[in-house]
Amino acid sequence: MKSQAEIRPAVMRLCAWLSIAAIAAAPVPVRADDHKATPAATATPIQHVVVVFQENVSFDHYFATYPNAVNGAPGEPEFTPAPGSPSVNGLSGPLLTDNPNSQPPFRLTRAQAVTCDQDHSYTDEQRAFNHGLMDQFVETVGVGAPGCPDFGHGKGLVMGYYDGNTTTALWNYAQHFAMSDNSYGTTFGPSTPGALNLVAGQTHGATLTQGSATGNVAAGSVIGDPRPSLALDDCTIRTASQITMTGQNVGDLLNAKGLTWGWFQGGFQPTSHNPDGTAVCAAAHANIAGASTADYIPHHEPFQYFPQTANPHHLPPVSLAAIGHTDQANHQYDIAAFFAALSAGNLPAVSYLKAPAFEDGHAGYSDPIDEQTFLVNTINALMKSPFWKSTAIFIAYDDSDGWYDHQMGPIVNQSTTPADFLTGAGTCGNGAAFPFQGRCGYGPRLPLLVISPFARTNFVDHNVSDQSSILRFIEDNWDLGRIGNSSTDAIAGSLLTMFDFSREGEDHNNLPILDPATGVPIHGH
C-alpha cells in the first residue's frame, strides 16, 4: 500500500462512496453499537485471521537459497540471517551446479525485479514435472524473448530465483515468524483454481455461461481462468469465458455461525457506472517500470463465482460499522474498506486481502518490489493495531506462475481427463475411485508464511500442507464444520505446528516493523 498521505484520499473516497450508497439504498439506520459483539469462542487464542493472498510465485522462486543471500551488490539491501537460522528444502549442491533441466537455476538481482509472465496452465505445468523428474520447465512453461525482459536467458528465465536482497521483507518475516517449505497448490493450474481452493477446497461444480470450456473447465472442474458470470460481476471481462460455481464456500460456513468476514480487493470500488447502472471498475496504477494495469482482476475474486456470496454490482457496505456483516455488500469490498475498518476499530474475524494488481506480485504486470510495498504497509498497520495480540496473518499464493521449483508434492487428487499429463498423456495417477476429475494435485510448491504473536520464531515447518489448509485452520478455529462434497479441507494438512500457543501473555512489543521500500527493519522498533 501507500504512505498515510496516499492512503487518506482512498479512504475519503470510500467514505464518500458509503454516503452516496447509503442515501441511494435508504437502508435502516445502522449505529456502531449495533455491530459490537462479544468475540466468538475459538479453539486457539486467535480471534482474527487475515489472509494476504498474493500471485504467481513458486517456493524456489522466492526462497531457493534461504537463509543465504548474496550481499554487496550496489543498490541492494543487505540480508544477514540470525545465527542458527534453519535451512530449507531449496536449491544447493547439484541442483545448482548440475540441474536436470536444460538450463541451470540462476539468481535474479533486484534490478531484474520486472520480468514477463511464465506459462502456468494446468496441462503444461504437469508436463514440466515430467513424471516427477522435474526437468522440463524450460521446454514446457518457459517464456522468453521477444518482447520479454528475460535478461538474455530466453525461455530459461523460468529457472530464475530471487534472494533476500530482493524479497527482503519476506525473508525478514521468515526470520521472526514461521514459514513452510512443504506447502503446495491444491491443484495444478493458474489463478482461479488457487483462489477457489483457498475458500472452498473445491474447483468442481462449474457451469459454463459463456465461451469455450477448452482450457478453462475439464469434467466440470475449473482448470483455467474463466471469469465470473456477468450475472455475478458487472466488472467481469464480458468477452471472456464465464462460469458460475455451485456448492458451499467458507463464507457460507462463517455466515451460518454469525461471524464477521470479508474479501477485500484492490479496484473493487466502481469508478463510474454505465447508462444501465452497472458498475465500471477502471481504477489503475503503474508498477515500478511504469507499466499501468487495471487494479481489479475479476478471476482473482473467488466469492464472485458463487451466487450466494457475490456482490454483482460492487455495492459498498452501508457503513464502516457494517463491514464484515451481511448487508448490500455481501462481504465483498474494496481494499480501502479494510484499512478504513481497521482504523475505525472494526476488524472482521476473517479477512481475505487481495492487493491491487500492480502490487500482487504477478510477473508481467507486478514484481517483488511493488509486492513488498503492499505487504509491509499492510503488516505494519496490523502490528500497530490493538488487534495484533489476537491475530494470525497468512501470506499465501494462488499459483506458481510456472517458475521452477524442484520439489514435487504427493498426488492426493487423481484425474484422467484429456487435460492431464502428470503421469502420462491423459493421466494424473489412475483416477480410480475419485469422485471428481480435473483436480490433479497437489500442484507446484508455493510459499506460505504465518505472522502472529503466536507464530514460532525463525521456524521452518516441513509438514505437508496446501492452500485448503488455511481453510481448515479457519474451520477448526471457529468450529465451522467442513465444506463437504469432496472438498480438500477434509484431507488438508494442519498448520498448527507453525504456532506456539503457550506464548500467550509474552511481551510482543519488539516487532519487526519494516521499511516498505527496502524490507529491512526500521531502527527503534
Question: Which tens digits make up the pLDDT trace of 427-474?
Answer: 999 877 789 999 999 999 999 999 999 999 999 999 999 999 999 999
How far apart CA 323 and CA 227 sit, in angstroms, is 26
Mapping DSSP to helix (H, G, I), strand (E, B) and coil, where does residue 127 land?
A: helix
Tens of pLDDT, residues 406-422 = 999 999 999 999 999 99
For 292-315, the pLDDT digits (tens) are 999 999 999 999 999 999 999 999
What number of CA atoms fall less than 13 Å from residue 311's CA on the CB side?
A: 24
Q: Give mean pLDDT, residues 344-349.
A: 98
Q: Give strand pairing partners of 264.
A: 333, 353
Residue 202 CA: distances (Å) to CA of 65, 110, 343, 441: 33, 37, 34, 12
**What is the pLDDT, as a whole number, of residue 165?**
97
pLDDT at 17: 56
What pTM was estimated for this model as a whole?
A: 0.94
Res. 26 pLDDT band, cuts 50 70 90 = very low
Taking the C-alpha atoms of residue 438 and residue 368, their distance in angstroms, rounded to an integer, is: 31
- Phi, psi (rounded to 5 degrees) for 358: -65, -10
Q: Which amino acid is at 194?
A: G
The residues with which 284 forms a beta bridge, in sequence order, are 294
Average pLDDT over residues 24-39: 42
Domains of the chain: 4-26+35-60+163-400+443-503 (3.40.720.10)
Read off the pLDDT band of 74 (50, 70, 90).
confident
* Distance from chain centroid for Cα 244: 21
pLDDT number for residue 11: 52
